[in-house]
Amino acid sequence: MVETVQSGSEATDRRILRTRKMLVDSLATLLRKKSFDDISVQEIAAEADVNRNTFYLHYPDKGALLKAMTESRFRDLIGRRAISAADCRGALRAIALGVCDYLGEIGDCPGQLARLPLESAIISVVQGIFNEGLSRHELAPGSDPALQATTAAWAVFGAARLWFETGRRIPAEEMAASIEDLVSPVLLKGH
Domain ranges of the chain: 1-59, 66-191
Q: Write down the CATH number for the domain with range 66-191.
A: 1.10.357
Query: Is 66-191 in the same CATH topology as 1-59?
Result: no
User: Which pLDDT tens digit goes with each residue over 114-171?
Assistant: 456 677 778 888 898 888 888 888 877 888 889 999 999 999 999 998 998 887 889 9
Give the residue-averaged pLDDT of 88-106. Answer: 81
Burial class (CB in 10 A: 0-12, 13-18, 19+), 65: buried
**Would you say domain 1-59 falls under CATH 1.10.10.60?**
yes
Give the residue-averaged pLDDT of 63-74. Answer: 85
With a cut of 50, say whether residue 7 has pLDDT above it. Answer: no
Which residue type occupies 179? I
**Could you count the other beta carbons within 10 Å of the beta carbon of residue 132?**
13
Rounded to 5°, angle at Cα 124 from 83 and 141: 85
